[in-house]
Amino acid sequence: MKLIPLLQCIIRQKVHSSVLSPLGVPRIKPVSTARRSLVFVSRPQNKYEDSSYWNIRWTGGTTIWHKWEVDELLKKHYHFLQTGNNQSSIFVPLCGKSIDMKWLADKGHAVVGIDIVELAAQQFFTESNIPFKKLYESTDDMMKIKFIVGDLFKCSVERIGSFDAIWDCNSIIAINPDDTKRYAKLLDSLLKSSGRILLSTYEFEDLSGRDQPPHNLPPDAVKGLFGEKYSIAVKETLDHTALFCIKYQIPWAQRHLLYLSKNN
């Protein structure tokens, strides 16, 4: 990491740290709407379907998005994924080797994850000490986890079934901005009529012209994607400026957690 851009990022963070959002968390406003829009409409050269790009990231160990602990917001808002029974079917798109899946399965839920990289599936089951078949399904009757290796956009109810709930832990910001409408439509098609989506997204300023995920997707954009079919509420907003400053040299960032409930 170059020292000068990092110092500029830290200085900018301190200069704007006194600005608060309506929710009382630090919020640094972008210089202009026009400049901020460059982040949202930029088109990455490496599309999600490009398995070779993601394989390189996994084999090279450059998976800086992976967490070695269960997501804190999932633990805090887990109750939202329970749709009237103690054993829900939960879909985790672009799951990587997230241990959130095991945590959910330990609570009795049937979990299905999908990722385009087979190494992610292998590492998930091996590191979680879960016996599995070659198709990456737990052979432990008490641990209901399936891991699909393939293209998310080829999923359908006919192929993988429908779900009571979806845990989208920043998966939506790994999708090309041009493909987010298709992504939202896909999630909607996989969700049962009374289903719910617990969705985490990020809002940030990035003027560097990066062509890789994560992508800026504020709550208003999420509401625009899912439209009137859902009741949508922002439940938490956290300041993640320090994290994004170090990882991506982005001067300010907020994480938002949203509840999406299908309107019957």
Tell me: pLDDT of 181 over 70.
Answer: yes
Which is more confident, 83 or 161? 161
Region 96-121: mean pLDDT is: 86
pLDDT band at residue 138, thresholds of 50, 70 and 90?
confident
What is the per-residue DSSP string for 105-173?
HHTT-EEEEEES-HHHHHHHHHHTT--B-TT-BB--TT--EEEEES-GGG--HHHH--EEEEEEES-GG
pLDDT of residue 213: 81
pLDDT band at residue 133, thresholds of 50, 70 and 90?
low
Q: How do residues 189-248 score in pLDDT, each as one tens digit?
A: 999 999 999 999 999 987 667 777 889 999 999 999 998 899 999 999 999 999 888 888
pLDDT of residue 17: 42
CB of 178 within 8 A of CB of 218? no
pLDDT of residue 100: 94
The most confident of the ranges 11-15, 73-77, 154-158 is 73-77
CB of 136 within 8 A of CB of 146? yes
**Residue 128: both structure tokens together:** 């979680």
Tell me: pLDDT of 29 over 50.
Answer: no
pLDDT of residue 201: 97
Q: How do residues 36-62 score in pLDDT, each as one tens digit?
A: 322 222 333 445 555 666 666 656 665
pLDDT of residue 180: 95
pLDDT of residue 217: 95
Judge residue 73's burial from the number of C-beta atoms within 10 Å of its C-beta, 0-12 exposed, 13-18 middle, 19 or more buried.
middle
**% of the chain surpassing 90 pLDDT:** 43
Residue 6: φ, ψ to 5°: -65, -45
Lowest-confidence range among 54-58, 125-129, 254-258, 259-263? 54-58
pLDDT of residue 97: 82
In angstroms, rounded to a whole number, what is the distance separating the alpha carbons of residues 105 and 89?
10
Biggest CA–CA distance in the chain, Å, is: 55
Closest CA to 203 of 176, 164, 249, 170: 170
What does the DSSP 8-state code read for residue 249? Answer: -
Contacts of 225 (CB under 8 A, 6+ apart): 180, 181, 183, 184
In angstroms, rounded to a whole number, what is the distance separating the alpha carbons of residues 132 and 101?
14
Mean pLDDT of the residues in the chain: 77
pLDDT of residue 51: 61
Which is more confident, 110 or 67? 110
Closest CA to 48 of 172, 206, 181: 172
